Structure 1
Amino acid sequence: MLFLFVDGLGLGEALEDLFPLLLSLNPHPLDATLGVEGLPQSGTGQTALLTGVNAARLLGHHQGPFPSPRLRPLLKASLYAWAKEEGLALLHANAYRPEYLEKATRGRRLFLSAFAQSARLAGLPLLPLDHPLALPPGFWEDPYGVGAKAAALTRRFDLVVLEYWALDLLAHRDPERLPERFRELTLFLRGFLEEGGELLLTSDHGNAEEPWHPRHTLNPVPLVYTGEAPPPPLDLTGVLPWMQRILTSKYKKSDRNT
């Protein structure tokens, strides 16, 4: 399975033109506000996705872009830690520049996403750009080919996680260029799905679906899964236990140990 996390993707009318492939996959809406006032943010939203805990309510506010040190104990018990304990073959596929990692991990406050922090806390490596298993997190020269490579990785690993942050970046800094990134993501997904990959896609908050402004939104975020699954959750906190049920049914320990 590929868990494709798309930062800053909500459900909105503009997706009919910008990202029709997503709508063809019948996305289920997830509440990203988590009952906390204000615009959802990446730090608390991603933490809720990965841990099943309402991180925004815990802090009393939405917080981003990176999880604060108060959230780090939650991230020690994330999807990554659970999957590793279950014996799943697990890959955090994002590629990183060494100079970025050195700067991001220099102080007490880690300038790493919840996904990167969770992977690191679970003992997984953060791969360099030239690693054969690594996938750049966007701005691909050949997005279809990168999607096909992601599908090939899912045949080697039980769970591959890729964090795609290009939509959120452009939505904040240069919304007029968002159609380029939606085309890129569409080609990636075509390359992945045409190679027979099993996809789980979701997000942490809305943003790019309203390209006429550079702010986050209150819109629900999509949840897509192309395999058989139990009834979907209602909000971000339900994604982890829902994924655990899927993965447990797909990969029994007895099967993985043979």
Structure 2
Amino acid sequence: MELKRRRVILLFLDGVGLGADEPSSNPLASDAYPTLRALLDGRRLIAQTGRLSTASAELIPTDAVLGVPGRPQSATGQATLLTGINAARLLGEHYGPRPDARVRALLERHSLFLRLTQAGRSPYFCNAYPQRYFDAIQRGRRLLSAIPYAAVVAGQTLLTYEDLCAGRALSADFTGEGWRRELGYPDAPLYSPQEAGRALWELSQPYDFVFFETWQTDLLGHAADLQGAIAFFQRFDAFLAGLLEAADLTQTLIIVTSDHGNVEDCSHGKHTTNPVLTLLLGAERQILAAAIQSLTDFVSVILRFLGVPEPETA
């Protein structure tokens, strides 16, 4: 009899903290998200809720400031999440948005993608990128952000439009609508948010660790676009419903988290020092939740769940 695969699916929402109970500025103070409300027994993803354990989920306000003055930034926040090392403290500053040589060196040595690959496991970064993204990289007009960089240095080739069409990748907007409307791919696959959640489960089957990233939350925060953010979280809510409906939660740990606050306060368009959102869903969530306090804790939790020895960080 074939043993079921233990799997971690990490849903990374860039720039999502836990903010005030202010519906006029915080999209997460809205009551528009039925899946999240059900998971949290009617509570909302706001600072006032605090640490919460329900029959279905663990909500963990997670420190992204990491003892370093200033507003957390993407490069050091994501590097910390992916290595378990306090990148901001190591550099002496919060840095971003894209990694410099100091952050890249950290990812090249300690990335979770690399650790899992070296341990004989199968990590997978499942986002697709359009050809113009690769063209801009080739021309030196943009740098890889921390997450795709970590995947690449571990040996993964970034996924393309062909992978999107073949069901091996997802769009950062879940549905693929942006590929049709904004990127010039009129035949791109189109999903409802629920179908996209089920598609993520299907493409995850060969892998031990699957990482999905959406950066739209951070852009909406910088634009102070409250209504756009509410619409985004409604899509995410439905996407999460589709994933939970399809997933084997007895063997799968689903992590929803972020790198810094931003979109939870649409009054100013800047990053915040708020704790970031972390949700644990599925297998062993209550035990593992106790080990999470800050962005430094995710690597050890994921390795523990997958039965991989702890990394040496010295």
In 2, Cα distance between equivalents of 1:90 and 1:244: 12
More deviation, 139-148/126-135: 139-148
1:104 maps onto 2:155 in alignment: no
Match of 2:92?
60
1:239 maps onto 2:298 in alignment: yes
Q: 2:101 aligns with which of 54, 69, 81?
A: 69
In 2, Cα distance between equivalents of 1:48 and 1:105: 27
In 2, Cα distance between equivalents of 1:41 and 1:182: 22
**Displacement of 1:70 after TM fit?**
1.2
Number of matched pairs: 249
**Displacement of 1:84 after TM fit?**
0.8
Q: Match of 2:260, SS?
A: coil
Structure 2's unaligned 5+ residue stretches are 1-7, 41-56, 178-191, 310-314
Q: Deviations over 1:60-92 (max 9, x none)?
A: 111111111111111012010011112222211
Q: Deviations over 1:89-130 (max 9, x none)?
A: 2211010012212313544x9622211000011110100023
**8 A Cα contact 2:68 2:88, kept in partner:** yes
1:194 maps onto 2:245 in alignment: yes
1:209 maps onto 2:264 in alignment: yes
Match of 2:3?
none
Q: Of the two, which has the highest radius of gyration?
A: 2
Q: TM-score, normalised by structure 2?
A: 0.74
More deviation, 19-28/116-125: 19-28
Match of 2:127?
94
Q: Match of 1:67, SS?
A: coil
Match of 1:135?
170
Alignment of 1:15-34 (within 5 A): 15-17=28-30, 19=33, 21-22=35-36, 24=40, 25-34=57-66
In 1, Cα distance between equivalents of 2:14 and 2:240: 15
One-letter amino acid matched to 2:272: T
One-letter amino acid matched to 1:122: A
Q: TM-score, normalised by structure 1?
A: 0.89
More deviation, 133-142/186-195: 133-142
**8 A Cα contact 2:224 2:267, kept in partner:** no
- Distance of aligned partners of 1:28 and 1:237 in 2 relative to their CA distance in 1, 3 Å threshold: same
More deviation, 202-211/224-233: 224-233
Match of 1:255?
none
One-letter amino acid matched to 1:134: A
1:50 maps onto 2:114 in alignment: no
State percent identity of aligned pairs.
40
**Displacement of 1:213 after TM fit?**
2.4
1:221 maps onto 2:276 in alignment: yes
1:181 maps onto 2:232 in alignment: yes
Match of 2:11?
4
Q: Match of 1:29, SS?
A: coil
**8 A Cα contact 1:200 1:225, kept in partner:** yes
In 1, Cα distance between equivalents of 2:124 and 2:275: 28
Q: Deviations over 1:44-74 (max 9, x none)?
A: 0000000111111122111111111111111
In 2, Cα distance between equivalents of 1:8 and 1:69: 23
In 2, Cα distance between equivalents of 1:170 and 1:238: 27
Q: 2:202 aligns with which of 152, 160, 180?
A: 152
